[in-house]
C-alpha cells in the first residue's frame, strides 16, 4: 500500500484551475489504486507552521549538532511533524498556480519548513548538497497553471520562475521522477481547450502513477 499526498497551494477553492486538474488526477488515482492512502494537504488550512526567528534558531542548532532548547523545542517539534508528513508519502501531487511569475508564498513557506538538515538534505564540504530523498522511489506530479504567462508568449507577458524554481527544489531534495501537467491558456488562447487537455493528461498520468 502506497500513500499519495496532494499538496495544494491555491486558496481559490472551486474557482481554482490547478485544484480542478489535481482533483481529476486524484479521482482516477483512487480508482486505479484502490488500496492506496490518499491525503490532501491544503496549505491554506492553518496547519503549516510558521518559520520565523525561533524556528530558524532551532534549525541552526541542529546544523551545529546541538539540540533545540527553550521555546525552540515546541516549534521544532511542529517543523519535524511537517517534514515527516511530507517525506512519508510515496507519491506526491502538487497543484501550483503561478503568482507573479513564481509560486504562491504559502508554497514557498512549505518549502522552507520541510527543507531541513538531516531529513531532506545534507551537505558535503567537497561535493555540496546531498539529496536525502534520493533512492527512495518517490514520484511527483506537478500541476502548473497560469492565466497570462505561457510557453509561447512574448517576454512582456512574464517569465516562468514557477516551474523552474519548483522543479529545481524537487530535484535538490532527491525527487527526480517528476511529471508536469500544464494548463496555460494565456489571454488569447482557448481556455476550455487548454483545460480539457490538462484534465485528460492528469487522468492518464494518474492511471499508472
* pLDDT reported for residue 110: 98
Domain hosting 177: range is 3-207
Task: Report pLDDT digits (tens) over 117-153.
Answer: 999 999 999 999 999 999 999 999 999 999 999 999 9
The number of angstroms, rounded, from the C-alpha of 81 to the middle of its chain's C-alpha atoms is: 16
Task: Tell me the mean pLDDT in the region 49-71.
Answer: 95
Q: What is the largest CA-CA distance in the chain?
A: 56
Please give the Cα distance from 188 to 141 (Å, whole number): 27
Per-position b or e across 169-204, b if 16+ CB within 10 A of its CB: bbebbbbeebeebbbbbbeeeeeeebbebbbebbbe
What is the predicted pLDDT for the residue at 62?
93
| The predicted structure's pLDDT at residue 20 | 98
Q: List residues bridging with 102 in a β-sheet.
A: 99
Q: Which three cell numbers stand for residue 130?
A: 546531498
pLDDT score at 76: 97
Give 181's strand partners: 143
Within 48-102, where are the H helices?
Answer: 53-63, 72-87
Distances (CA, A) of 78 to 55, 59, 93, 139, 155: 9, 12, 22, 25, 41
Q: 207 falls in which pLDDT band (50, 70, 90)?
A: very high
Q: Confidence class of residue 205 from pLDDT cuts 50, 70 and 90?
A: very high
35 burial (CB, 10 Å; 0-12 / 13-18 / 19+) is: exposed
Extract the runs of DSSP E, i.e. beta strands, from the chain: 3-8, 37-42, 91-97, 121-124, 128-131, 139-145, 177-183
Residue 168: its pLDDT value, please? 98
pLDDT at 114: 98
Q: In the chain, pLDDT over 70 holds for what percent of residues?
A: 100
Q: Shortest CA distance to 173 belongs to which of 127, 145, 134, 143? A: 134
pLDDT at 23: 98
Query: Residue 198 — very low, low, confident or very high, per pLDDT cuts 50/70/90?
Result: very high
Specify the number of domains making up the chain. 1
Rounded Cα gap, residues 209 and 180, in angstroms: 12
Residue 209 confidence class, pLDDT cut points 50, 70, 90: very high
Q: What is the CATH number of the domain that holds 85?
A: 3.40.50.360
Quick: pLDDT tens for 158-187.
999 999 999 999 999 999 999 999 999 999
**pLDDT band at residue 99 under the 50/70/90 scheme:** very high
Question: What is the arithmetic mean of pLDDT over 57-72?
Answer: 95
Per-residue pLDDT at 166: 98
pLDDT of residue 208: 97
At 10-40, the pLDDT tens digits run: 999 999 999 999 999 999 999 999 999 999 9
Amino acid at each position: 500500500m502506497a500513500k499519495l499526498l496532494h499538496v495544494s497551494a491555491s486558496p481559490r477553492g472551486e474557482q481554482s484551475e490547478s485544484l480542478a486538474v489535481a482533483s481529476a488526477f486524484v479521482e482516477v488515482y483512487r480508482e486505479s489504486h484502490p488500496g492506496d492512502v490518499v491525503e490532501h494537504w491544503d496549505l491554506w488550512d492553518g496547519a503549516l507552521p510558521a518559520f520565523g526567528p525561533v524556528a530558524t534558531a532551532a534549525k541552526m542548532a541542529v546544523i551545529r549538532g546541538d539540540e533545540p532548547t527553550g521555546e525552540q523545542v515546541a516549534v521544532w517539534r511542529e517543523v519535524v511533524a511537517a517534514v515527516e508528513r511530507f517525506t512519508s508519502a510515496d507519491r506526491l501531487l502538487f497543484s501550483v498556480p503561478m503568482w507573479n511569475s513564481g509560486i504562491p508564498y504559502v508554497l514557498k513557506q512549505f518549502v522552507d519548513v520541510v527543507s531541513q538538515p538531516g531529513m531532506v538534505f545534507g551537505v558535503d564540504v567537497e561535493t555540496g548538497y546531498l539529496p536525502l530523498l534520493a533512492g527512495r522511489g518517490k514520484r511527483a506530479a506537478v500541476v502548473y497553471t497560469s492565466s497570462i504567462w505561457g510557453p509561447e508568449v512574448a517576454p512582456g507577458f512574464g517569465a516562468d520562475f514557477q516551474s523552474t524554481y519548483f522543479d529545481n527544489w524537487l530535484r535538490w531534495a532527491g525527487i527526480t521522477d517528476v511529471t508536469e501537467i500544464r494548463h496555460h491558456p494565456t489571454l488569447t488562447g482557448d481556455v476550455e481547450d487548454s483545460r480539457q487537455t490538462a484534465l485528460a493528461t492528469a487522468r492518464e498520468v494518474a492511471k499508472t502513477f
